[in-house]
Structure formats: structure tokens, C-alpha cells
Amino acid sequence: MARTGASTMSPPSDYSLRRLEIERCRQEIAAVEAAILGGHPDVEGLCRALADWSEELRMLQNEERRQALNLATS
């Protein structure tokens, strides 16, 4: 019998979502680096993508550090 109604699973925490986003950034960065090293002709576009993904990763990591400090001081 199929279950209906709300799921009993809790939604992922902010920490879990941020870790997934960090991993995605790392995967995207690796893919861009591989394309550059593989001789993809759009080096300029790939460099922009690399800069964007790297900045996204820095922002997520900074947020993670801020939250860790907030937890440690509360």
C-alpha cells in the first residue's frame, strides 16, 4: 500500500545543503580545469567559469566558517 501524506524524513540541514553545494563547486572546477587542460578552444569562457565557480566556493566556505564560529561562541 502506498503511503500518503507528509514524509517523515526531515529536510536537509543548512550544513548538509552547503556541503552539497561545496562539492558541486569542486566538481565544476575540476571539469573546467580538465577542459582547459584538454585543449578546449574557449579558454576565455572557461577562465570566466573557473573564476565564477571559485568565487562561489569561497563564499560557501566563508559562510561555513562563520557558522562554525557562531556555534563555538554560543
* DSSP annotation string for 16-52: HHHHHHHHHHHHHHHHHHHHHHTT-S-HHHHHHHHHH
Domain spans of the chain, in order of start? 14-73
pTM over 0.85: no
Per residue in 28-64, pLDDT (tens digit) is: 999 999 999 999 999 999 999 999 999 999 999 999 9
**Cβ partners under 8 Å of residue 40, min gap 6:** 46
Measured from the Cβ of residue 58, the count of other Cβ atoms closer than 10 Å reads: 11
